[in-house]
Each structure stands twice: as C-alpha cells, then as structure tokens.
Amino acid sequence: MFKRLQPQAVWQLVLISLMTVVAPLGLLLYHTTVSLQTLALDSRAVTEDSVAMAQNGRNAKASLIDMERVARQYMVIGDKALVDLFKSASEQFLAPLTEIAQLLGTPEARALLADVKEQQLDLQTKLEKEKPNSPALTKEMAEFSSLQRSADRLILQARTFSEDKLHELGRAAAQARENVIQSTLVLAPVTLALIVLFTYLIVRPVRQLKAAIRTLSIGRHKPIELFGPQELVQLAEELNSLQERLSQVEDQKQQFLRHVSHELKTPLASIREGVALLQEEVVGQISHGQREVLYLVNENGRALQQLIENLLSFNRLNFSGQAQKMTFDVSALVEELLHLHWLSLTHKRQIICVGGPQLTLTAERPRLHSALDNLISNAIAYGASEGRIWLEWNIEDDHFILRVTNTGAPIPEAERSRIFEPFYQGSVKRSGAVKGSGIGLSVARECVQTQGGELKLLTTTGQLVSFAIYLPRTVVSAI
C-alpha cells in the first residue's frame, strides 16, 4: 500500500512537498484576503452612508432656515408669491430627511419623519389660509422651533447610526485581525511540521544512499532498505546488486590469492630444501664464495616465502581498513633491505651510499618495507652499471623524508606524470634477466599513502633519478 503512495521521481516528491507546504499558507492568504475585502466593502458602504446622511442633514438644516425666513417675510409683506417659495423650500427640506429615514430604516426614524411632515404640512396650510398678521399664523410661527427639534432628532439618529456603524466596523476589523493571528499561530507550526516531514522524506533516502556508497567504498556490504521515490529505490536496488557482485568478486579474489599462495609455496619449498642440501654439503663440498651465494639465495627464498605468507594478511588489512603500526629503527630497516639486495649490487658493481640520523618510526613496517624495497630494486635495475646509489633520510619541514637516488638515464619529462600508473612502463628499459611488470612504483606509492604520506619523483639535474618518501613528522622520534 505504501509503495503505491511513493512518487516515481524525486522532482515529483519535491513538487508534492512544495504544494503541501504552500497549501496552509495559501489558505491563510485566501482567508486574509477575503476578510480584508469584506472589511473594505463594509467600510466603503458605511463611509458612503455616513457622508450621505451628513450631507442630507446639512441640506435639511439649510432648507429649514430658508423656510423660516420665507414664512417670516410673508408675515411682514403678505405677498402670496412667498407661499410658493415656502412650498419649494419645504420640498428641499423634506427630501434629505426622507433619504435619511430610508437609510436608517428604523421605526423611530419613520415616526420622526411622519411627525416632521405633519408639522410642515400644518405650517404650510396656515400660510395658505390665514392672513399674514392673524393670531393663528403668529401662534403657528411660534411652533416653528418644534419642527426644528423634530428634524434635529432625526439628524441626530443619523449621526448616532453612523457612529454605531463605525464602531461595529472597528470591532469587525479587530476580530479579523484576531482571526488572522490565530490562524497564523495554528498554521505556522503545521507548515513547519510539513517542512520538517518532507525534508526528512527527501533527505533520508539520499543519506541512506550516501552511507551505502561510503560503506561500499571501504568494503563493507550491507543491504539497503529504502522508502522514497521510485528512482531512488531503483538506485538502491542497483547498489544492492553491485554489493552482491563485489562480494562475489571479493570471494573470488580471496580464493585466487589462496590458490596462488599455495601454488607458489610448493615450488619455493623445494628450492629452499635444495639450497639447504647444498649448504649442508650433502652432494659435495662447496667453496666459501659458493656458500655466500647459497646463503643469499636462502635468505631471499625465506623473504619470498614471508611475502607470500603475508599476501593474504596484507589483503585482509586492506579489506578491513585496519592498520597495525609498530615502532622500529630506520637504520635497521635500511640495513635489512641492503642485505637482501647485496647480490644484485655486487653483480652490477654498484656503490651504495647510506646516511641519516638515528631515528625511530611508528608506522606500518611491512608496507614501508615493501615501498622502500621497490625503490631500491628500481634504483639497482634502472641505475647505471658501476654507478652510485644514495639512500638518505632526514627531518625537513615537519616531514620525515627518505630519498633514493641513482645514477642512470633520467626519466623523460613527458613520462613523469604517468610514472606511478599501474602497469605503465616508460621508454627507459630495465636491466637484468627479470623483466618488470610496471606495478612496483604503483604499489610503493599506495603503501606510503595508506600511512598518510606521499611518494614523489624529484626534479634533478644531470644523469640522476631521485624518489622521495614523505611521512608526517608525528611518526618520527629521535633515538
């Protein structure tokens, strides 16, 4: 069921996340917009009604003043034309009051309007029927202030109505603001929770893949169980297949190493037995020189046997990522290697010069032994016959530096960048019966790099070739 809910691609998950996160914010924006629009319309209506009522009130008062002036002029002059002017002023007086009453729409407003109309009609009737100075008309004029009070009460109701509407509008605005704040307080945590949720859904499978690739790079195989977009799930399945394939390759490699080690040790054991028989003079006496040669052959056979036996353990160390460090004397390591290569040096009549302070290193001795062994072997094989080899070490610029330099044909500039590539063999040919495979310098560099160091080809002048091993000074201590 959950697999059906998984998006097909990462962009789909991102799009769904964006839409889901934006939805609460869009809802809040819509609600706020509707509230503001409603308030704006209500505010406009109240403003228009208030302005209309105020204007009608002013017009009614002005028309009432005209009515009173015309009526009093009629009482003095007695011209009937003034009665017509009174009627016109009365119409102008009643029209705005009628509009106010309609805007108010209350029974009180309609009653006040009816009272005003009745008083106005009585006054108009007296003006039409009575003589200008008659007592009845004089009495009616005395009641003119009553008409004014009735009109004022209607105008006051209009003013009160406008104030009530404005107060109501203010309360509505405050309520709308409160609603927006409450909605924000509710939707903000929801939005934040959705952001955290979808960030987790997006980042988690990526981190799982990253962790799987990291463990794969160090040789640890662990199946990946991924929940996320289908394309990431498919990538996880491909990584699982790759892990299975690498496991199979690793098993095949281990099997190959076991078989090769066994096949190499069998003839090597026969060789060592034959050398032992010769040393014991079972087949006849040997000279002192022959004994020295047999001793070197036996020692190199033992070293080869040790290398074969260390092959599997060396591979296990690479596979597990574990490192076994020990403290050893640099001079002792160099002396051991020179003893192994004494026969080759004697054969090519090469002179080796060794020099350096008494130092101890805390490092992986077998790997440093292998790296230095390859450098010395190359110096002998590619060096000039009857030439010189320098093996020097010292501490310079916070590094332990061990240089191996030999006389002979220099490495061409075009080949210097590829000299450490596996199986690469330059134009300079190796001397001797044993031909090189092109992996010696590659192996030497790897053995140094695994200890945090670096193997470099130095720039020299003349007929010299020089390599240097750089190790951190932290591994060095003086004797």
- Please indicate, yes or no, whether the overall pTM of this predicted structure exceeds 0.75: no
Task: State which H helix or E strand residue 458 sits in.
Answer: strand 454-458
Instruction: Print pLDDT tens along the chain (479 aa).
Output: 445 556 666 677 777 778 887 887 788 888 888 888 888 888 888 888 888 888 988 888 888 888 888 888 877 787 788 888 888 888 888 898 888 888 888 888 888 888 888 888 888 887 777 777 777 677 767 667 788 888 888 888 888 888 888 888 888 888 888 888 888 888 888 888 888 887 877 777 777 777 777 776 655 666 777 666 677 777 777 777 777 777 777 777 777 766 666 666 667 777 777 777 777 777 778 887 777 777 778 777 766 765 666 555 445 545 544 557 888 999 999 999 888 888 778 888 889 999 999 888 888 888 888 889 889 988 888 888 889 999 999 988 888 999 999 998 888 888 888 888 876 676 666 654 444 456 678 878 888 888 889 999 988 787 889 999 999 887 766 65
Domains, the chain: 2-201 (1.20.120.1730), 323-479 (3.30.565.10)
Give the pLDDT score at 435: 47
DSSP strand pairing (464-472 vs 388-396): unpaired
| In the block, residue with structure tokens 């002023």 | 89
What is the Cα–Cα distance from 231 to 239, expressed in whole angstroms? 12
Residue 465: CB atoms within 10 Å: 20
What is the Cα–Cα distance from 438 to 416, expressed in whole angstroms? 14
282: DSSP letter: S
Which residues, in sequence order, are bridge partners of residue 471? 400
143: DSSP letter: T
Give the pLDDT score at 290: 78
Q: Which two tokens stand for residue 56?
A: 């009608």
Residue 343's closest CA among 288, 388, 380, 305?
380
What is the Cα–Cα distance from 96 to 148, expressed in whole angstroms? 14
- DSSP tally for the chain: helices H, then strands E: 12, 8
Say which residues have a Cβ less than 8 Å from residue 107's Cβ, sequence separation at least 6. Answer: none
Residue 64's closest CA among 96, 106, 36?
96
